[in-house]
Amino acid sequence: MHLADFIRYAVAIALSGVLAWAAISDIRWRRIPNRVVLSILVLFVPWTLASGGIELASALVAGVVAFAVGYGLYAFKVMGAGDAKLFASLALFAGLAHLTTFALATVWTGGVLAIGALVARPRRALAMLSLRGQGDHGRGIPYGVAIGVGGAVVLWGYLTGLLPLHGGALG
């Protein structure tokens, strides 16, 4: 195994731990600490260095796009600030080539979580339907979990060869 591959796997393992931290925090307190986002940004440095800086511009553009979309969703109270920052920081790892895969994996996981929440609490689901989206329906779903799964899908998809190697910060 080459040193660059070793570094990528080490970063992937550390990043998986950070994503678990984000998920647990979001489940328990509905909050994603800023230290999680900073940890992801710090882990991006050795990841990029191990890749020789290839596609750094793609990664930065993906991060800016994800931040802009996340900020818009936050401004309209669709997404929390921590979720927006988590999504933008993980978009660096996806790059432009894998940003769509990251977003789709996140959305699908969020949908599964939402369905699971509705099935687990049918009275709440009926109240939500009868009030037609008006009123306080509780805490919602911990979307940081979905974002973490989306990030893990891209990261481990690349490392296992399930995603193409070209065209992202991963390559």
Task: Inform me whether the pLDDT recorded for 115 exceeds 70.
Answer: yes
* Mean pLDDT across 151-166: 86
Q: How far apart are the first and last CA of the chain?
A: 17
According to DSSP, residue 171 is labeled -
Q: 66-70, 74-78, 114-118: which range is least confident on average?
A: 114-118
Q: Which residue, 139, 134, 151, is CA-closest to 114?
A: 139
Provide the pLDDT for residue 143: 94
Q: Which two tokens stand for residue 90?
A: 């993980």
pTM of the model: 0.89
Chain centroid to CA 96: 14
Asked whether the beta carbons of 85 and 134 are under 8 A apart, the reply is no
Provide the pLDDT for residue 127: 74
* Residue of 89 and 53 predicted with greater confidence: 89
Helix or strand (DSSP H, E) at 5:
helix 3-29
Segment 22-31, tens digit of pLDDT: 999 999 999 9
